[in-house]
Chains A and B, each alone.
Chain A
Amino acid sequence: MDLQPNPGKPRSLTQEGFASFLLWLSPDPGQAAREYLALSEKLRKFFVRKGCLHAEELTDRTLEQVVLIVQKEPKKYSNPISLCYGVARNIWFESRREPIPEALEDDNIPEHAEPEDEFTERELQCLRHCLGQLPLRHRELITQYHQFQGRQKIETRKQLAQIYGGLNKLRITACRIRARLHDCIDNCMQRSALD
């Protein structure tokens, strides 16, 4: 099977094709929808990690391609994520060949500077709200994890690592708490933008 995308060929993704793709993911419609969303999220993260500017668009292109492949030969593939991986890499190679806007001259690239703008009261409110949503143990951990700089930070994290089962576990736990906070703050800001 040729996993190479063909940008010149018009896409022929149909509703029936998409329905048969969902059925291929799972005979249970609810489970199929969840798997589709999980695939989409993994692909989006994949493209972000590769530094792509338009991760959402590349994700959509990948999934369209995967749907077409599955529609054509549903029995040939059994592992959705492996199929997605192959297609996503090809889409990514293809995107690299697409013309990109001309880069700025070095002299014109703005130097890194600490942004002067303070955060809005709403952002701080959202952060406080989201911290309040965390379990006490997590709130304490993330507070201590980020409280200090330099030597103090290293010492504090060493002590936290003793409590939380090692440095690697601590890093992963803190990362998960931050991800939860990030999502919560994003949602909170979106809600307040709608108000």
Chain B
Amino acid sequence: MITDANIREYLLGRLDLDSELVESIDEQILTDPKFSISVDVIEDEIIEEYLEGSLSAEDMRAVERHFLRPPERQRKLKTARLISRYFKAESPKQPARPRSLFRAFRIGQVLPSFRTCVEIAASVAFVISTLVIWNQRRVLDIAIKQMNQQLVQERERSAAANQQLQSALHSLQPAITMLNLIRPGRQRGEMEIPEVKMNPGIKTLHVEVALSSWAPGKYRVELRHAERTVWSRDDVDVTGVSGGAVLRVDIPAEILLQGKYELSVIPSGGDPISYLFSVLKLQSALESAPSRLFEWAFSPS
């Protein structure tokens, strides 16, 4: 009859190696799977006791000199130490009491003890508070969800209103903007050049050039940007006014990019007179004040 104690002695290398008991254990280890599992269990328990330090000094020596010789067992010891430390670190302060409630009410134990009653009451109180907290949290979650939905709807409404406003502004925008040029470029010195702001709805830039000296006849007008002529018009009339004349041209807005421009007024047979101005392209009608329906770009006199 092989007992657990025999197996333990076998594993610690303390049995007579030539004995029939060892031969029998050897044989069963190889041929009987159930027996082999029993040996595994005892092997694990030796490791557990070794880790706990609960082995006798003699057993400890046997473990270190015989049991732990194979590298496989050393690896097993290492893993067992990892598992043991992990669970001890994770263990609660109070021991778990599996099935304590079940045991308290089992047949033959009619009245639970005072301590059990206190435990039950504490458990019930804990469950109720947990439920209350859970319910409050659920209500809060629902409220947050509703607020988020409202926020999304508000955002959508706001986006739609913004779009409508943009379209309305586009429809209110004049298709024309005006620019008056008085002082030719060569007379400007350090003066700031006039700037015209072009909204997306503008189709035409109406330019009126004040000429202090003029000659009757037709004029040629050229518009230059980035050192090249981007637009020109021949046979432009001028209108005589008190102290000079006014030349009027309409420049299509589509050719105007953001930047500096030079408008040259060339009388037939005379020298060209240049006027400088800059164009600022606006992305949206909202960028300019809605009340400014016309853009005047007078240079300071």
User: Chain A residues in contact with chain B, CB under 8 A?
Assistant: 42-53, 55, 81-82, 84-85, 88-89, 96, 109, 112, 114-115, 119, 123-124, 127, 142-144, 146-149, 152, 155-156, 159-160, 162-163, 171-172, 174-176, 178-179, 181-182, 185-186
Report Cα–Cα, A27/B21, bound state, in Å. 36
Report Cα–Cα, A97/B45, bound state, in Å. 31
Report Cα–Cα, A156/B95, bound state, in Å. 8
B39, B69, B83, B96: which contacts A178 (Cβ < 8 A)?
Answer: B83
State the main secondary structure of chain B at its contact with A: helix
Contact A155–B95 (Cβ < 8 Å): yes
Chain B residue at smallest Cβ distance from A39: B30
User: Chain B residues in contact with chain A, CB under 8 A?
Assistant: 10-11, 13, 17, 23, 26-27, 29-31, 36-41, 43-45, 52-53, 60, 64-67, 69-73, 75-76, 79-88, 90-92, 95-99
Contact B73–A46 (Cβ < 8 Å): no
Contact A51–B96 (Cβ < 8 Å): no
Report Cα–Cα, A148/B90, bound state, in Å. 10
Contact B69–A53 (Cβ < 8 Å): yes
Q: Would A51 and B30 be within 8 Å (CB), given that A124-B86, A182-B79 are in contact?
A: no
Contact A85–B98 (Cβ < 8 Å): no
Contact B83–A146 (Cβ < 8 Å): yes
A49, A127, A182: which contacts B39 (Cβ < 8 A)?
Answer: A49
State the main secondary structure of chain A at its contact with B: helix
Residue among B23, B53, B72, B97 with the highest chain A CB neighbour number at 10 A: B72
CB distance from B163 to the nearest CB of A (A): 52
Contact B44–A178 (Cβ < 8 Å): yes
Contact A49–B29 (Cβ < 8 Å): yes
Contact B98–A172 (Cβ < 8 Å): no
Contact A119–B85 (Cβ < 8 Å): yes
Report Cα–Cα, A61/B162, bound state, in Å. 87
Q: Which residues of B contact A49 (CB under 8 A)?
A: 10-11, 29, 39, 43
A47, A146, A186: which contacts B87 (Cβ < 8 A)?
Answer: A146
Q: Would A51 and B13 be within 8 Å (CB), given that A147-B87, A182-B76 are in contact?
A: yes
Q: Which residues of A contact B40 (CB under 8 A)?
A: 175, 179
Chain A residue at smallest Cβ distance from B73: A48
Can you spell out 23 A-B residue pairs with CB atoms less than 8 angstroms apart? A42-B30, A42-B36, A45-B36, A49-B29, A52-B69, A55-B70, A84-B30, A88-B30, A96-B17, A127-B82, A142-B83, A143-B87, A147-B88, A147-B91, A155-B95, A159-B99, A162-B99, A171-B41, A172-B37, A179-B40, A181-B79, A181-B83, A182-B80
